[in-house]
Amino acid sequence: MINQELVNPQSIVVVGGSNNVHKPGGRLIRNLLDGKYTGSLYAVNAKETDVQGVKSYHSVKDIPETELAIIAIPAPACPEVIEILAKEKNVKAFIVVSAGFGEETKEGGILEDQILKTVNEAGASLIGPNCIGIMNMNYHGVFTRPIPDFHPDGVDFISSSGGTALFIMESGLTKGLRFASVWTVGNSKQIGVEDVIEYMDKNFDPVLDSKIKMLYIEQIKQPDKLLYHASSLIRKGCRIAAIKAGSTDSGKRAASSHTGAIANSDSAVEALFRKAGIVRCFSREELTTVASIFTLKEVKGRNCAIITHAGGPAVMLADALSKGLLNVPSLDGPLARELKSKLYPGAAVGNPIDIVGTGTPEHLATAIDFCEHQFEEIDLMMVIFGNPGLVKVYDAYEVLHKKMEECKKPIFPVLPSIVTAGPEVKSFVKKGHVNFSDEVTLGTALSRIINTPKPASTDIQLYGVDVPEVRRIIDGLPNNGYLNPEDVRLLLSAANIPLVDELSSSDKDELIAFAKKVGYPVVAKVVGPVHKSDIGGVALNIRGEEHLLFEIDRMMKLPDVTGILVQPMLKGQELFLGATYEERFGHVVLCGLGGIFVEVLQDVSYGLAPLSYDETFSMIRSLRGYALIKGTRGQKGIDEQQYADIIVRLSTLLRFANEIKEMDINPLLATEKGLFAVDARIRIEK
């Protein structure tokens, strides 16, 4: 639980407070004093009566009643001290910065459990142990540096790790990023990242609270809570960027399917973030760059203008934007010629707009004005302006400052000369701006934001899935393991997923009659073994009865074969669709192109069931091979809407069938007549 005593305490005691600022207790006192904490402040130190001018007591039994206790003493001493504070001094909030608990030893874990029991019985809040603390506009309850200048419009930053939080803050501060609060939760014995997000959601004030959240997460213990409250905050107008570190396989499962081989706990994280609308980042620089972008005017489109006086960085930025599916449209015609006439000879205006190294602040203003008022197709501007040694950089940055204030279209400043134009850059940042010193990092981060979908709808829709039939089939299945082809077809039919015609039988006459009915060529596959191809259990392009009889006789002699499945041989683009069940997260749905794309390149996208259409289209369009789905080089694309329909229906089926632990539809074949599931495997555990 998070209470007011933790967020805005009127009195604080630092247990372990010291005159030595190189000790955690000493630095805590110093940070609280430097931060102009206005409440009552006490220290507990067995040897001192005065700690940095703060009244110090020899024992926690001697202090007045206090709202918040920050504990900076050895771990073994913590349980007894916290019990006294909770039961005798009415302390309602604790921050335990001490280490040596469950993160190190089993004995430390027992100490942690004792502390939690005491705190919960007192109805108090607990941050930590093993953290650096909390700091906000009310108090600086940390023993580390840097301490940012806090501002209501800054970023709320929540981190699992204290040390990592410091490095992330430093990265943000160099960009001019401001902070509203910093929370480090350490071992998260009572309060984790998800709980802080829940508190911010339930207590959100759209006027006073920050609308930007940065998360560094090492373990997602409560994915449902994170999903619910993060998406709720985003719907309220907030924007969230996050790193999930330590994404490893959640227990190596036998690769009995492509889904099983590809999916892991990181797949679930990717799917959760997509569903919530959280922008996923993979480095400190990327996280703080995304958060810095959030401080600017919101981007409403994908068409970028690059204004520069240096060609190379502009080209690299254009490449980064294009890779991220953003556009740098060509600018030509009368308006472009008019702009060119207002610049120095040698300037280029095709986009990037290069005002050349001798271009003046006035030329910069002119280029920005044309993008704002004349080039209607432009949605945003990126201005790369360093120090070529030929113009007054301060004047150029003053122009940029004014245009960022005036223009309705967002402007992204890329000011790379942080050494040769250091004072000018600092002056620009002090006016409340951020600076992106590296254009490629900016382009990549903006792409992540633009390509992150909005939070998924929470409306319950069935999309044509026959839920009662799904449950009747699942409930009637007696055993765990892989389903036989007949039951697979029944389940997919109940989900309204189109299937290729097929017959499974051990009777030669039935199989021959079926092949004649659907027409040659046909495909024959063994029934029984999971890995059909590995034992020679698949025969393609069977063009006549004699060939089919030969394959039936051959395959029936293979080990564990109980029958033969015959299908018409269809031609088309192979697609892949699969799902796996992850504990705490639910079903993760995978989609992609089939064949080499899934088997070798593992070009797949992830979503958390059940999926909305917005999520599904975002998944499809994030594939590296999406150009083949869309159609490229004269090759006809596939029916993207039908592909999305099938993915959505499959995710709805999974919502009502938790017993399904792993499945593949591979291939899902896109033919001229539509999409059809050709082969599917489903494994259940009841």
Q: What is the pLDDT of residues 383-392, one digit of tens each?
A: 999 987 777 8
Residue 255 has pLDDT above 50, yes or no: no
Q: What is the average pLDDT across 299-303?
A: 95
Q: What is the average pLDDT across 126-145?
A: 96
| pLDDT band at 247; cut points 50, 70, 90 | low
- Of 247-261, 267-281, 458-472, 600-614, the poorest mean pLDDT is in 247-261
pLDDT, tens only, 375-420: 999 999 999 999 877 778 999 999 999 999 999 999 999 999 999 8
Instruction: Tell me which residue of 604, 606, 610, 653 sits closest to 488, measured CA to CA.
Output: 653
pLDDT given at position 262: 55
pLDDT, tens only, 630-663: 887 777 889 999 999 999 999 999 999 999 999 9
Cβ contacts of 405 within 8 Å, gap of 6 or more: none
pLDDT, tens only, 68-85: 999 999 999 999 999 999
pLDDT given at position 254: 39
Read off the tokens for 268. Answer: 């679930």
Residue with the two structure tokens 């036989």: 484
pLDDT, tens only, 96-121: 999 999 988 999 999 999 999 999 99
Pseudo-torsion of CA 450, 596, 640, 330, nearest 10°? Answer: 50
**Cα dist. 23→44, 451, 647 in Å?**
14, 45, 56
3-state helix, strand, coil split of the chain in percent (to 5) is: 40, 20, 40
- Other beta carbons within 10 Å of 4: 14
- Of 2-11, 170-179, 209-218, 383-392, the poorest mean pLDDT is in 383-392
The percent of residues above 90 in pLDDT, for the chain, comes to 81
CA distance 522 to 428: 70
Higher pLDDT, 579 or 594: 579
**585 within 8 A of 223, measured Cβ to Cβ:** yes
Using CB atoms within 10 Å of the CB of residue 410, give its burial: 0 to 12 exposed, 13 to 18 middle, 19+ buried. Answer: middle
CA distance 158 to 242: 9
pLDDT given at position 375: 96
Residue 522 has pLDDT above 80, yes or no: yes
- 303 forms bridges with which residues in the sheet? 327
Q: What is the average pLDDT across 132-143?
A: 97
Q: What is the average pLDDT across 288-304?
A: 96
DSSP letters spanning 32-90 = HHHTT--SEEEEE-TT-SEETTEEEESSGGGSPP-SEEEE-S-GGGHHHHHHHHHHHS-
Largest CA distance in the chain: 101
pLDDT, tens only, 420-473: 899 999 999 999 999 999 999 999 999 999 999 899 887 778 889 999 999 999
pLDDT, tens only, 20-46: 999 999 999 999 999 999 999 999 999
Residue with the two structure tokens 């800054």: 154
pLDDT given at position 264: 60
Residue 272 has pLDDT above 70, yes or no: yes
Residue 169: its H or E element: helix 162-175
| pLDDT band at 265; cut points 50, 70, 90 | low
pLDDT given at position 185: 97
State which amino acid sits at residue 157.
F
Cβ contacts of 509 within 8 Å, gap of 6 or more: none
Residue 257 has pLDDT above 50, yes or no: no
pLDDT given at position 596: 76
pLDDT given at position 251: 36
Tell me the angle at which helices 613-621 and 640-655 cross, rounded to the nearest 10 degrees.
120
pLDDT, tens only, 174-185: 999 999 999 999
pLDDT given at position 636: 83
pLDDT given at position 617: 93
Residue 332 has pLDDT above 80, yes or no: yes
pLDDT given at position 389: 74
Going along the chain from its start, the domains and CATH numbers come out as: 4-136 (3.40.50.720), 148-194+202-294 (3.40.50.261), 305-433 (3.40.50.261)
pLDDT given at position 252: 37
Residue 263 has pLDDT above 60, yes or no: no
Read off the tokens for 530. Answer: 């999971």
Residue 253 has pLDDT above 60, yes or no: no
The percent of residues above 70 in pLDDT, for the chain, comes to 97
